[in-house]
Amino acid sequence: MGLIKRLTSLQVFGIATGAMISTGVFVLPAVVFRIAGPSILLAYLFAGFLMLPALFSQLELASAIPKAGGSYFFAERILGSGAGVFTGFANWFTISLKSAFALVGIGAFATLIFPGLTEWELKLIAAGFCVFFTVMNLISVKSTGWLQVVMVAIVLLILAQFVVFGFRAADLSHFAQVFNFKWDNVFLATGMVFISYGGLTNIANVAEEVKNPGKSLVRSTLLAFLIVEALYLAIVAILIGVLQPAEFESTLTPLTTAGLKFFPGSMLSGVEWVITAVAAILAFVTTANAGIMTASRNPLAMSRDNLLPGVFAKVVGKGKIPFVSVIVTSVFMLFIIFLLNLEQLAKVASLFMLLVFIMINFSVIIIRFTKLTNYKPTFKSPLFPVTQILGIGGYIFLIFEMGMEILGSALGFLALTFLWYYFYSKKRATRKSAFVHMVEGLVGSDLRSDDIALEDELLDIIIETREIKEDRFDQIVRDAPILDLNRTMTRGKLFELVSQIVSEKWGIDAELVKRKFETREEEASTLIYPGFAVPHAIPHIIIEGESRFEIIIVRDKHGIDWNDNGEVVYTAFFLVGSKDERNFHLRALMAIAQILQHPDFVKNWMDAKNEKDLRSLILLTERQRIV
């Protein structure tokens, strides 16, 4: 059962921005400062730059395949079920870990108001917020989306004033140490802060619930990236300019510490301290809220494909909320909250994110080279495939730079997901991926089959996205025989071929069918446009019975000798039906005429590679539909 499209461009922006602005700016700068010093400014710059391949690739895929599960769905359909299991779990863990990271961050800032809180009490606070947002997501995605917008707006306003007043208080001499660094430390810091940008691509997990995803998803996510990247660099620069190294290293709340120095000797410093703390808590809350919403869509999508138990795919209520996925995701987050500290969370979450990004970039390379007809992204990654290759190389490099412990975690995760796939998912996975389709073509065209499920899914997605309401003509075309001929033949030979198809399906004498086609053609030519004919036997009855109608579609690039006048036909729509279908016969003729009049149809029709392409072109061509 599909999810309801309810999220607007503004809500998408709120979810993407809210999923990024949290610990990445309010806590993490202090953690990585202990590793790289003032050169953390370079780490944030490098991380933002390395986000571009993943961002572009994810947006391209999401604009063409807006389905719940995002990264998982892309990898499973394009690379295969094994890669889908790996990516699905990795993406699920990434978002859950980042969200748990944000909830623990609430506790860090709660100590500013209640300095006597113990670590256990801080974790209980984080757990309480986790339960609250679980309930919110179970009630309504729509209300959650608007709550996200409001909280993000408040956070952005507070951070904007922090930047304005912070630059006035910054000491430029502190920046002299930015370029005094060790590359190993900068690369390690870059890998750790990568989690700060996680919300950008994870918005694809709720793409199925976005109104007009081809436009709103792309624009909102790109805008979120530009704003957040600018804020990250500006805020980190202010922290370096305002705080002494010892101050930076000794705090987990660097923004509030810096805010106290904006207005020396004035009560405004206290005000800045308070509103910065409020912004931090709101930011943590928005990340956790968005994380529960997006992370829960991964097990939902995996369950739909039988790679997880079916219970994860159940949705309830008018809002069609995937309640089991939401609850299991929240329970996992609660477990993480009580198990790991902030630094561990940052490293492990960044690892899983890098693994997901590798798979996403590889997916774009494969699907582009597969050249599927119905892959029609509204946004295409620039500089393909250089962007994807550089991205994959950069992500692998960062994983190695983060140390053997992280590399060992990656290999361990790979082993566990392989075991799950081998013992549970493999026997339930029957779909052929785009990757296998491409390999068949490379090995030999005679081994390549046009029967690839992703083509049909992409066709249905386009129809849904364009809000095409299929009528009876569309339904008949979906099952219609299509002959894609590659030899010159006479009209009589074509009539014989088509009559045999009608005979086999409806149990009618083939010779009788052929005579009826010829009789109709002798009475009046069925040529309707140069190169196009619509042979039919109505009002001559072909099929006995009631409510029976058939369309046989023919394309012959070499041409069919149609008559003695030298006219050649390259495309023919054969219409056959029972006596009571005369009215629909006229509607079918009108539909065909509208299709042929479309300015791009003839060129696209002759360029189509196979029968699937021809069928898709008819179904997607704009015309007046009578539902």
CATH at 139: 1.20.1740.10
Q: What is the DSSP string of 541-558?
A: --S-SSS-EEEEEEEEEE
Q: Is the pLDDT of residue 104 over 60?
A: yes
Residue 432 per-residue DSSP state: P
Q: What is the pLDDT of residue 532?
A: 93
Q: What is the pTM of this model?
A: 0.81
Residue 350 belongs to a domain: no
- Do 479 and 395 fall into the same domain? no
Segment 265-289 shows an average pLDDT of 80
Q: Is the pLDDT of residue 218 over 60?
A: yes
Cβ neighbours, 10 Å, residue 497: 16
- Do 324 and 230 fall into the same domain? yes
pLDDT digits (tens, 9 = 90+) for 17-35: 876 777 788 888 988 898 8
Q: Is the pLDDT of residue 447 over 50?
A: no
By percentage, how much of the chain surpasses pLDDT 70? 91
The Cα-based distances of 355 to 34, 54, 342, 407 in angstroms read: 26, 11, 20, 11
Q: What is the pLDDT of residue 4?
A: 65
3-state secondary structure 373-417: CCCCCCCCCCCCCHHHHHHHHHHHHHHHHCCHHHHHHHHHHHHHH
Q: Name the band, by pLDDT with cuts 50, 70 and 90, for residue 1.
A: very low
- Do 519 and 393 fall into the same domain? no
Residue 186 belongs to a domain: yes
Q: Name the band, by pLDDT with cuts 50, 70 and 90, for residue 179.
A: confident
More confidently predicted of 308 and 17: 308
- Domain membership of residue 590 as a residue range: 470-620
Q: What is the pLDDT of residue 41?
A: 92
- Do 283 and 379 fall into the same domain? yes
Pairwise CA distance, residues 440 & 444, whole Å: 6
Q: Name the band, by pLDDT with cuts 50, 70 and 90, for residue 46.
A: very high
Helical pair 453-465 and 611-620, crossing angle rounded to 10 deg: 10
- Do 372 and 484 fall into the same domain? no
Q: What is the pLDDT of the chain when averaged over all its residues?
A: 84
The residue out of 427, 444, 479 marking a domain boundary is 427
Residues 6+ apart with CB under 8 A from 255: 25, 26, 162, 235, 239, 276, 279, 280
- b/e per residue 224-258 (b: at least 16 CB within 10 A): bbebbbebbebbbbbbbbbbeeebbeebbbbbbbb
Residue 347 belongs to a domain: no
Pairwise CA distance, residues 500 & 512, whole Å: 10
Segment 164-188 shows an average pLDDT of 86
Q: Name the band, by pLDDT with cuts 50, 70 and 90, for residue 451.
A: low
Q: What is the pLDDT of residue 452?
A: 60
Segment 396-411 shows an average pLDDT of 86
Token readout for 222 is 């790109």
Q: What is the pLDDT of residue 559?
A: 93
Contact 145, 159 (CB under 8 A): no
pLDDT digits (tens, 9 = 90+) for 463-514: 877 778 899 999 999 999 999 998 999 999 999 999 999 899 888 888 988 9
Q: In this structure, are strands 549-561 and 568-577 parallel, antiparallel, or unpaired?
A: antiparallel
- Do 535 and 403 fall into the same domain? no
Pairwise CA distance, residues 180 & 561, whole Å: 79
Residue 2 belongs to a domain: no
Residue 435 belongs to a domain: no
Q: Is the pLDDT of residue 342 over 80?
A: no
Residue 625 belongs to a domain: no
Pairwise CA distance, residues 256 & 269, whole Å: 9
The angle formed by the CA atoms of residues 532, 534 and 536, to the nearest 5 degrees, is 160
Q: What proportions of the chain, in percent to the nearest 5, are helix, strand and coil? A: 70, 5, 25
CATH number at residue 593: 3.40.930.10
Q: What is the pLDDT of residue 56?
A: 94
- Do 482 and 390 fall into the same domain? no
- Do 381 and 526 fall into the same domain? no
Pairwise CA distance, residues 553 & 13, whole Å: 45
- Among residues 434, 328, 442, the alpha carbon closest in space to that of 73 is found at 434
Write phi, then psi, for 348 (nearest 5 degrees).
Answer: -70, -40
pLDDT digits (tens, 9 = 90+) for 571-607: 999 998 888 888 898 899 999 999 999 988 999 999 9
- b/e per residue 394-418 (b: at least 16 CB within 10 A): bbeebbebbeeebeebbeebeeebe
**Total domains in the fold of the chain:** 2
- Do 79 and 227 fall into the same domain? yes
Contact 244, 42 (CB under 8 A): no
Write phi, then psi, for 260 (nearest 5 degrees).
Answer: -65, -20
Q: Is the pLDDT of residue 2 over 60?
A: no
Residue 456 belongs to a domain: no
Token readout for 551 is 């369309």
Residue 461 belongs to a domain: no
Residues 6+ apart with CB under 8 A from 202: 19, 70, 71, 91, 94, 95, 291, 294, 295
Segment 64-84 shows an average pLDDT of 83
- Do 396 and 489 fall into the same domain? no
Q: Is the pLDDT of residue 453 over 80?
A: no
Cβ neighbours, 10 Å, residue 481: 16
- Do 518 and 371 fall into the same domain? no
By percentage, how much of the chain surpasses pLDDT 90? 28
What distance separates the 2 farthest-apart alpha carbons in the chain?
A: 102
Segment 151-177 shows an average pLDDT of 87
- Do 399 and 529 fall into the same domain? no
Segment 323-343 shows an average pLDDT of 82
Q: What is the pLDDT of residue 528?
A: 82
